[in-house]
Amino acid sequence: MSGCTQNKTQTSEVSESTVEQSTETSDSIAEETAEETAEDATLRETKFGPVQGYIDEENQTLEWMGVPYAKAPVGELRWKAPQDPDTWAEPFDASTGGNLGMQVSNGEVTGSEDCLNLDIYRPNTEETGLPVVVYIHGGNNQSGTSLEVSGETLANDANCIFISLNYRLGVFGFNCLPALKSDDTSEASGNYTLLDIAKSLDWVRENIGEFGGDAENVTVSGFSAGGRDVMALLISPLFEGKFDKAISFSGGMTLADTDASVKTIAKALAPLAVEDGMKATEEEAKAWLESEDTEVADYLYSLSAERLTKVMTNAGIRMSVFPHLYTDGTVIPKEGFEITAYNSVPLLMLTGTSEFSFFALGDSYFAEAYGDGSLFTDETKFAEYTFAKKYGSLLYELVNAQDSAQIMGDNYKAAIYTCAVPWGDDAEVVGDMANLGAFHGIFVPFIDTNNKTYQAMFPDQYASEGAQDLGKQFRACLANFLRSGDPNGEGLTEWEAWSKEEAGKTLVLDADKEKAKIEMQDRTISYDDVISQMEQNNTISEEAKTTIIQQVLNGRWFSGKLDEHFDNVSLWAE
């Protein structure tokens, strides 16, 4: 009996062990199968080789990060047009972000010259023929990253493919010194960042079908400097046929004269040349750097990326500190936006209504009071800040949308849609956030609900029912625009296209605490109106007003007529 019992026990133990092993084997096979399925879902073949992305389970998107669209612009390619990347056979690991461009961040040099890469987001579906939006990040073309806006929200809510770029920044992306010019007319422009963007759009046309995108429905978009780059693409013959629609978020028209830019860049680099013993004085070095001497090119190519990155920082939306987007006559026409042959595609332009608030806070005139916390409690200083914010923002708003539309109006052959975002200005709705108002970037959490910058600053305000409703409706408008070039659709406020007859009429995106408040409004205002208001304003002393006009508002993107009217000193290098 005992022996029989023992045998049964052993048999039972063997059976349980076998079952456990079988279960573990099945689980292992299931896990491997799931991993293989995930790999298959994100394995794509590009013109240059296969790329392996990943599935973002939380956001229900497929993502490919840091995919190279061009060869690293290093060594002899530092100031050359971007070249095709070398081909590869094994799957490229696109599960982590790519290098960002060389830049100064928090006082430290970061990034890489090897930065020509892009990120791709799409819904986790098998649908093909999706509209494509290509995003150019902000940062004055001197800083920033493709991760500024992540694409999960728009990919799902607009059912599109969202692509975000890294590209050359600072003096690597814009450098028009004569010694660097080559026989290639596009390279001779010095607008290397625009050449990078053109290369990325070529990559999209050639490859996005493999990711389920419609290569014939590409919208180019950008924020801040990226938005200004988008506006420049509209006048560049290099970009004819490279995109089908355009969105400029807080962009506007800003260009730089090539000759004036040469002087500024040479002046900025002259101390390095003296330090390295190339010339005895900065004046001699500046003159040498402005020349076509081949030794200048040799010297510039020999400089370390770190040293070059440190020049012309802290531009503070002043072209005179870091000039870019040169009217070279090749990539950008010499006549700038006063041309007759635009790359006319459906265009959407957005502006916040307090765009200058961050830039006022960053100015030395307000920085100390802002830093020690007294700016918003000291009545005198707060009144001065309010003056700068109000009039700087009105002028910024004009540049971002209304003035740009009027300049293009007679010669632009496609629909233009403008919108203003005052949400954030009303303290009854957003509380202390109103000190900054509808700031530069106010829209970002409406298109990227995972945003870790602006949303993190004001989590409660963006989480309100009104803000959530506003974001949902705005994304619906964008979804319509990405598909058809028309933002209108069922259940949405009618968004009338801009017209010369009603130039100030625009869609206003606002909300109270409970719901969105979206309507067409006439926000007509002229540059002369703003200057007149400034002169009549008596909320601050005349001394403070003069200082703010001459030192805080001067030389900005929007300051041309202001500087002329008040006879402000030019900030451009002589």
320: nearest Cα among 408, 250, 260, 368: 260
Residue 314 is predicted with a pLDDT of 77
Alpha-carbon gap, residue 529 to 525, rounded angstroms: 6
Contact (CB, 8 A) for 290 and 262: yes
Query: Residue 162 pairs with which residues in a beta bridge?
Result: 121, 133
* Sequence-ordered strand ranges (E) for 308-403: 347-352
Tens of each residue's pLDDT in the chain, 574 residues: 333 333 333 333 334 344 444 445 445 544 554 455 556 899 999 999 999 999 999 999 999 999 999 999 999 999 999 999 999 999 999 999 999 999 999 899 999 999 999 999 999 999 999 999 999 999 999 999 999 999 999 999 999 999 999 999 999 999 999 999 988 788 889 999 999 999 999 999 999 999 999 999 999 999 999 999 999 999 999 999 999 999 999 999 999 999 999 999 999 999 999 999 999 999 999 999 999 999 999 999 999 999 999 999 878 899 999 999 999 999 999 999 999 999 999 999 999 999 999 999 999 999 999 999 999 999 999 999 999 999 999 999 999 999 999 999 999 999 999 999 999 999 999 999 999 999 999 999 999 999 988 988 999 999 999 999 999 999 999 999 999 999 999 999 999 999 999 999 999 999 999 999 999 999 999 999 999 999 999 999 999 999 999 999 999 999 999 999 999 999 998 8
Helices of type H across 347-378: 357-362, 364-372
Determine which helix (DSSP H) or strand (DSSP E) holds 105, and give its type and residue range.
strand 103-105
Q: What are the residues facing 347 on neighbouring strands?
A: 246, 416
d(CA 268, CA 310): 10
Angle at 424 (CA atoms; ends 420, 428), nearest 5 degrees: 130
- How many Cβ atoms sit within 10 Å of the Cβ of residue 188? 17
User: What contacts 376, CB < 8 A, 6 or more positions away?
Assistant: 382, 432, 435
pLDDT in the model for residue 7: 36
Provide the token pair at 308: 């070059």
Torsion of CA 437, 349, 326, 336, to 10 degrees: -130
**Both tokens assigned to 561:** 């007529």
- Angle at which helices 364-372 and 379-397 cross, to 10°: 130
Q: Cβ of 16: how many Cβ atoms within 10 Å?
A: 10
Inter-residue contact 451 to 150 (CB < 8 Å): yes
Report pTM: 0.92
Measured between alpha carbons, how far is 47 from 209 in angstroms, rounded to an integer? 11
- The pLDDT, as a whole number, for residue 554 is 96
Cα torsion 134, 106, 112, 78 to 10°: value is 90
What would you report as the CA-atom Rg of the chain, rounded to the nearest whole angstrom?
A: 27
- The closest of 425, 423, 352, 417 to 386, measured between CA atoms, is 425
d(C-alpha 24, C-alpha 6), whole Å: 27
Give pLDDT, residue 31. Answer: 54
CB within 8 Å of 64: residues ≥ 6 apart:
42, 44, 51, 52, 53, 94, 119, 120, 211
SS3 assignment for 145-210: CHHHCCCHHHHHHCCCEEEEECCCCHHHHECCCHHHCCCCCCHHHCEHHHHHHHHHHHHHHHHHHH
- H or E segment to which residue 481 belongs: helix 465-484
